[in-house]
Amino acid sequence: MFVKPLYGKNGWMFLDGDNNRTIDQMTGNLILGDEQLKQWEELLKSRMSRLSEKNIEYIYICAPNKESVYKKFLPEWYKPAQETPIHQLIPIFTKLLSNKFIYPVDALVNSPLDTYPQGDTHWNQYGAYKCFQELEKVLGRADTLADVNFVTRNLPGDLGRKIDSSYLESQPVASFSKSTFTIEFDNKINNRGRIIIFNNPDAPVKKKVVFFRDSFGSQLIHFLARAYSRVVAIWQPSLDYSIIDFEQPDLVISEQVERFLISPPSDTSSPTAEEIALSKNCDVNLYYSGK
pTM of the shown model? 0.96
pLDDT value at residue 2: 59
Burial of 227 (0-12, 13-18, 19+ CB in 10 A): buried
Q: Provide the residue ranges of all domains of the chain, joining segments of one domain with +.
A: 33-112+131-148+178-280
Per-residue pLDDT of the chain (291 residues; tens, 9 = 90+): 457 899 999 999 999 999 999 999 999 999 999 999 999 999 999 999 999 999 999 999 999 999 999 999 999 999 999 999 999 999 999 999 999 999 999 999 999 999 999 999 999 999 999 999 999 999 999 999 999 999 999 999 999 999 999 999 999 999 998 888 999 999 999 999 999 999 999 999 999 999 999 999 999 999 999 999 999 999 999 999 999 999 999 999 999 999 999 999 999 999 999 999 999 999 999 999 865
